[in-house]
Amino acid sequence: MPKETFDTWLATSLVADYQPPEPTTDPEFSLLTIHLAHRRAYEWVRHRLHKVIQRMVDQVAGYPITLAYGAPEVETVVMTRPAVS
């Protein structure tokens, strides 16, 4: 991801919540909620950066994590996982 893209859309984002998987469940049941600074960043990330962020998070964690995005005055949305290509 180019630095300019990160600085514009993600630099001010926060991890709002992380729900790890239970030891007896599939890791895919974990949930990472990312809070973005404003509605425009929220829309941009959801529609244009989600697949990139999903790959990076899964790679760092070592297992699949479901992502959710939120922003002020916007309902938090849990994303469906992108198809494996």
Cut 0.85: pTM above it:
no
What residues does each domain of the chain span?
15-72
Which secondary structure element, helix H or strand E, spans residue 16, and what is its range? strand 14-19
Is the pLDDT at 79 greater than 80, yes or no?
A: yes
Residue 3 has pLDDT above 90, yes or no: no
Supply the Cα-derived Rg of the chain in whole angstroms: 13
Alpha carbon distance 73, 53 (integer Å): 22
Residue-wise pLDDT tens digits, 27-71: 667 899 999 999 999 999 999 999 999 999 999 988 888 999 999
**For residues 4 and 50, what is the distance between their CA atoms, to the nearest angstrom?**
17
Helix, strand counts (H, E) of the chain: 3, 4
